[in-house]
Structure 1
Amino acid sequence: MDQPNILLGRIDNRLVHGQVGVSWTNYLGANLIVVADDEVAHEEVQQELMELTAVTSGAEIRFFTVQETIDIIWNASDDQRIFIVTRTPFEMLKLIEGNVPIKKVNIGNMHFEEGKHQISLKVFVDDEDLKNLHAMQDKGIEVFIQEIPGKMAEQFK
């Protein structure tokens, strides 16, 4: 295998829910969802809830820390069509800097928190988020905002 077949990276602070586990997975034709999140990698209850969503799309789902994802992604088999999901831009950038070959990053949901400002209907960012998203673009990654397939994508600027 030349490299793992990563279809898309998505930033979504809810990780895997209906939009990710069904809509995006089916749209992409993914057969494996990789959740790269240091907290969820050790939380069985959260994993079980996400597994229930993923199974409706027919995809398998795996939960790893960000570092575990970096360490094992190159062991993916040729037939795996991978959809990677992280909670924040920081985690996605760590994957990219760790040589995970992600070419496109979709910003889905980043909810309001104190200190964040709105850049799209469901995307709120702070200076750190913006720095990390621009760093991805500086590495040649296509970064766009799109809640669900079928809605108009906005290029992140």
Structure 2
Amino acid sequence: MIINFARIDDRLIHGQVTTVWVKEAKAERIIICNDAIYEDDLRKTLLKQAAPPGIKVNVVNIDKAVSVYNNPKYEQETVFYLFTNPKDVLAVVEKGVPIKSINIGGMAYKEGKTQITKSVSLDKNDVDAFNQLNELNIKLDLRVVYSDPSIDFIKKINEVDIA
């Protein structure tokens, strides 16, 4: 499997993803990696319906993401991984999927999270996962849209006190 692009965006498939990021990814397939969404048949159906024409979409749990990556049947297929959070990215990487760069696009504000940009809010678990990804030399590319300048994500995290 050829990983052309990986992104964290808790909205998953939406306008920016279908019109901009899919084109930049130049991938045949979007693979959404999340255990909870994998168990939600309605949400899976809606996500598949939201896909741009000509792009296949699969919703898999973390273990399936790893097994599909390692399946020789898919070794020449180009993919765009979509995640909702950094913990799932870290889990996939720790199980041997060689993600070299992760684009951080959107993580909505919720109770207990600290807003660090207009589109990204984090809690301590998120920060820990991002720091571990950084220690594994995975590029953390904070950009909502492709035309935005890339921001040093670890520096941005360190500017904010996240308890």
State TM-score, norm by structure 1. 0.90
- Determine whether 1:67 maps to 2:63: yes
Number of aligned positions between the proteins: 153
Aligned equivalent of 2:98, options 101, 108, 125: 101
Query: 1:11-37: CA deviations, max 9, x gaps?
Result: 111122222233211122111100011
- Determine whether 1:123 maps to 2:120: yes
Higher mean C-alpha displacement, 77-86 vs 25-34? 77-86
Task: Return the offset for 1:115.
Answer: 1.6
State TM-score, norm by structure 2. 0.87
Aligned position for 1:136: 133
Aligned equivalent of 2:42, options 27, 40, 45: 45
Instruction: Using the aligned pairs only, state the percent identity.
Output: 26
Q: Which amino acid aligns with 1:8?
A: F
Q: Which amino acid aligns with 2:34?
A: D
Task: Return the offset for 1:129.
Answer: 0.5
Q: Which amino acid aligns with 1:73?
A: Y
Task: Return the offset for 1:133.
Answer: 0.4
Partner Cα distance (1:86, 1:104) in 2: 13
CA contact (8 A) 2:6 2:80 kept: yes
Unaligned runs of 5+ in 2: 155-163
Higher mean C-alpha displacement, 102-111 vs 71-80? 71-80
Aligned position for 2:158: none
CA contact (8 A) 2:68 2:74 kept: no
Unaligned runs of 5+ in 1: none
Divergent runs of 4+, >2 A? 76-79
Higher mean C-alpha displacement, 100-109 vs 7-16? 7-16
